[in-house]
Structure formats: C-alpha cells, structure tokens
Amino acid sequence: MEIVTPKSTRRCTRLRVEIPVIVTSLDRRHPFSDECLALVVSPQGCGFRSTEALPLETPVLFGNLPGGGSASGRVANCLPLGNDGKYFLIGVALYNHGNVWGIVDPPEDWNCDATAGVTARPSDAGKIPAKSNNVWPYNKFSNQGEARPRKK
C-alpha cells in the first residue's frame, strides 16, 4: 500500500547569510546567552549555529539585529553539526514574522517591508501594541474553555 501526500512547499525563500546575533534564552530552566551566527534566514525564522543545544519550544530573544532591533521566537529544532558535538544548528520560528534580518532587497515572496516583525526600540517604550485575538499567543488556545482535572 502506497501513501501519497502532497509535496510540501516552503512559505518563503530561505537565504544563506552570515549575520552575527546575540541569542538569549527566555526560559530560566535553560539558561543560555551567546553571540551566534545566523546561517539561514526567512521572514518566519532562522537557523543559527551555536556551541550549545537548546531544548525544543525554548523561547529565545535575538538581540543586536541589523538596524538595532530585537525579535523573539521559539526553538523549532536542534540538530548536531558533525559527529563531534561541537556545534548545533538551531532552528527558530519567530513569533512575529518579518524581515528582522535587515535584508536590503528581500525576495518577492517575503511580502514584507524591511522593519516588519522588529520589536520596538527603546524610544518607542511605553507604547503598547493593540491586542488581537488572531495573533500568537491568543490564537493558540481553544475558545471552548478549559478542561480542569477532577478531584479523586
């Protein structure tokens, strides 16, 4: 029996780059902060090289981005580079998609301007973005209420 599935397609073009970024874990259980090298980027995320592995779903903050902004995301995958365990390729999905990487002439399928997805700079402090029920983390939960554990 043969199982046929549709060929998956990428949402956007990935670009090979070498962008130095500071990556910091936002999870106290997995402390990490290091200057890393983003090797592959897209508006949805990136793959960066690190000397440490990070667990899946770990929230991370990218600092020192081109243009001086920052962006956050979650670890989507973590693969060893080679057999020596010296480096890892960590894939991160950005919470807010956009050209946070400062790519001057992005591919047409990126469909974004140069600053989309970049967190506000300190000069914009105090401005609170409007809440939308269709944007993460609000769209992650069911509208049908909570299921609570029963007492035994």
Domain that holds residue 91: 15-103
Higher pLDDT: 102 or 140? It is: 102
By the 8 A CB rule, do 24 and 33 touch? yes
Q: What is the DSSP string of 66-88?
A: TTS--EEEEEEEEEEESSSSSEE
Based on the structure, what is the number of domains in the chain? 1
Any domain includes 148: no
Section 124-144 average pLDDT: 43
SS3 44: coil
Any domain includes 9: no
pTM of the complete model beyond 0.75: no
Any domain includes 47: yes
* pLDDT of 55 above 70: yes
* pLDDT of 146 above 60: no
Section 8-34 average pLDDT: 89
Any domain includes 141: no
Higher pLDDT: 83 or 115? It is: 83
pLDDT value for 9: 56
- Please give the Cα distance from 47 to 78 (Å, whole number): 9
Please report, for the domain that includes residue 57, its CATH number.
Answer: 2.40.10.220
By the 8 A CB rule, do 11 and 57 touch? no
Any domain includes 122: no
- Please give the Cα distance from 54 to 19 (Å, whole number): 19
Any domain includes 2: no
Q: Which of 95, 118, 115, 96 is nearest to 104 (CA)?
A: 115
Q: How confident is the model at residue 124 (pLDDT cuts 50, 70, 90)?
A: very low
Q: Which of 118, 119, 92 is nearest to 103 (CA)?
A: 118
Structure tokens that stand for 132 in this block: 């939308």
